[in-house]
Structure formats: structure tokens, C-alpha cells
Amino acid sequence: MKKMFLFLIIASIFSCAKKVSQEKVVTKEPQKEKVVVGGDSDSHGCKASAGYTWSILKKECIRVFENSTRLNHAEDGKTYSTVSYVIFDGDKAELFLDTQKESIILERKSEGDSWKKDDLELIPWKGYVLKKGGKIIYTGE
């Protein structure tokens, strides 16, 4: 009986040792960096995911689609799904064009004149007309 009992103990030790050696060692994969929604602040602290962009005129983060004038493409009679915006502050206008990364500041000399910078001209006519090199590229209300 003692031999049988000793045999069972030795057999169980071997079977436990075999199970432990067969288990796979699980290693943790490196965790991917989590992206926080709204954590995309630019150099000015504006959060693009919330619709904010830096305004040179206002010197703050703004949502250009609020309290601004919408400009639609007017080139070659084509229809585009993107839009651009302009905000006004005194004799200055800030253009947020869908074709430019940075905004553009236009200035006018007096009331009733158009705003200009280089070959860009924003004319207050039936709303607004933006010309580049004399060619109409945007119109807006």
C-alpha cells in the first residue's frame, strides 16, 4: 500500500510538471498609443477636431463657419463640395480658403473699396466676389 501511495505521488508530480512545461508563456504586446479625441491642438492651442482654427485678425481660436461669410467656388462653372470663408475686422478681411493651409489677410484703403493683397481682390458686389489675377474664383453672400 505504501508503494502504491508513493507511486501515485510521484506520478502526480510528473504530470503536474509536464502541464506547467506545456503552458505557453504569454507576453504582453506593446500597447498602442491612445489618441484622445479633441487632443489635436495646433501650435496656437486650437482644436481642429472641434472645428477651431487660429484667426490672425481675432487673435483667438474661432470656428470659421460661425459668424463669417461663406464663399463658394466660382471657377469655370464647376460645382465643388468644399467652401471657404472670410471674416471682417475694420478695414481688414481674413480669408480661409480651402486651397490654402494658412489664412490670408486682405486690406482696404477706405469704406466701399475692395480688400486686396497681391493678386487677390475681394469686391463687395452682390455679396462678395473674390478675384485672383482678375478672374473670379469665389462668390458669396
Residue ranges of the domains in the chain?
Answer: 64-140
43-82 per-position pLDDT tens digit: 888 998 898 999 999 999 999 888 788 888 776 666 566 7
Q: Indicate whether 117 pLDDT > 90.
A: yes
Q: What is the mean pLDDT of the chain?
A: 80
Distance (Å, whole) CA 63 – CA 50: 8
The residue among 62, 69, 91 whose CA lies nearest residue 139 is 69
105 close to 56: Cβ distance less than 8 angstroms: yes
Q: Indicate whether 91 pLDDT > 90.
A: yes
Mean pLDDT to the nearest integer, 15-25:
54
User: Residue 23: what pLDDT?
Assistant: 53
Distance (Å, whole) CA 44 – CA 48: 11
Q: How far is CA 12 from the centre of its chain?
A: 63
User: Residue 42: what pLDDT?
Assistant: 83
Percent of the chain with pLDDT over 70: 67
User: Residue 88: what pLDDT?
Assistant: 93
Q: Indicate whether 141 pLDDT > 70.
A: yes
User: The C-alpha cell of 130 is what?
Assistant: 473674390
Percent of the chain with pLDDT over 90: 35
120-131 per-position pLDDT tens digit: 999 988 889 999
User: Residue 7: what pLDDT?
Assistant: 64
